[in-house]
Amino acid sequence: MGGAPLPLVLAVAVPTGKCVPWPAREDVAIPAGFRHVRQYPNTSPAGFREFMCDRARAERLKGIFENYIGPVLGENPNTLDM
């Protein structure tokens, strides 16, 4: 999807199944035609940490997503009540 506008990604790619989920596990094959997620130059664990530490920026992005898909609903998945 490389840089597709968010509305296009939400309107076209997701409903038509064109989103490619990368496996979280190292022993699961990566979809054909793709590299490991860490091999893309715009993937950086350090950069993600920096982004998340900038709460104002993260909240702005959250607001953009909420404008397109609505607020998060349901129970908080970060609780330990299992």
Determine, yes or no, domain membership for 58.
yes
- The mean pLDDT value for 49-57 works out to 91
Q: Other C-beta atoms within 10 Å of 65: how many? A: 13
Determine, yes or no, domain membership for 64.
yes
How many distinct structural domains can be found in the chain? 1
**pLDDT digits 0-9 by tens, 10-25:** 554 444 455 656 666 7
Q: How far apart are CA 55 and CA 17, in angstroms?
A: 32
Determine, yes or no, domain membership for 15.
no
Determine, yes or no, domain membership for 53.
yes
Determine, yes or no, domain membership for 63.
yes
Give the pLDDT confidence score for residue 77 in this predicted structure: 72
Give the pLDDT confidence score for residue 78 in this predicted structure: 75
Q: How far apart are CA 50 and CA 43, in angstroms?
A: 12
Distances (CA, A) of 23 to 3, 11, 74, 77: 21, 23, 25, 20
Q: How far apart are CA 67 and CA 61, in angstroms?
A: 10
Determine, yes or no, domain membership for 34.
no
Segments forming the whole domain that contains residue 50: 44-70
Record the tokens describing residue 31, joined without a space: 């979809």
Determine, yes or no, domain membership for 3.
no
- The mean pLDDT value for 52-72 works out to 90
Task: Indicate whether this model's pTM tops 0.85.
Answer: no
